[in-house]
Amino acid sequence: MKISTEGEYEKASERADAIFEAKKGTLEYEELQVLLKALKDYEDDFVRMLKDFN
C-alpha cells in the first residue's frame, strides 16, 4: 500500500485508529500492520521532502 496524498493519509490514519486494538492473528491486525507501514513511509517521504526543500 502506498499513500500519495494528504487525503489518503487522513483516511488511513482514521482507519488505523479504528482498528488499533486488533488482536494478533486477525485480518484487522494484518490490515493495521499494512496501514502503519504506509503511514510511516508517507511521513518519512514528507520529512525528506522538507529537508530537500531547505
Summarize pLDDT for 32-43 with one digit per residue, the tens: 999 999 999 999
The structure's pTM equals: 0.87
Q: How far is C-alpha 12 from the geometric centre of its chain's CA atoms?
A: 6
User: Total structural domains in the chain?
Assistant: 1
Summarize pLDDT for 2-22 with one digit per residue, the tens: 999 999 999 999 999 999 999
> pLDDT band at 54, cuts 50/70/90?
low
Which are the contacts of 44, defined by CB distance < 8 A and separation ≥ 6? Answer: none
Domain housing 14: 6-53
Q: How high is the pLDDT of residue 21?
A: 97
1 within some domain: no
Q: Is 32 exposed, middle or buried (0-12, 13-18, 19+ CB in 10 A)?
A: buried
In three-state secondary structure terms, 48 is helix
41 within some domain: yes
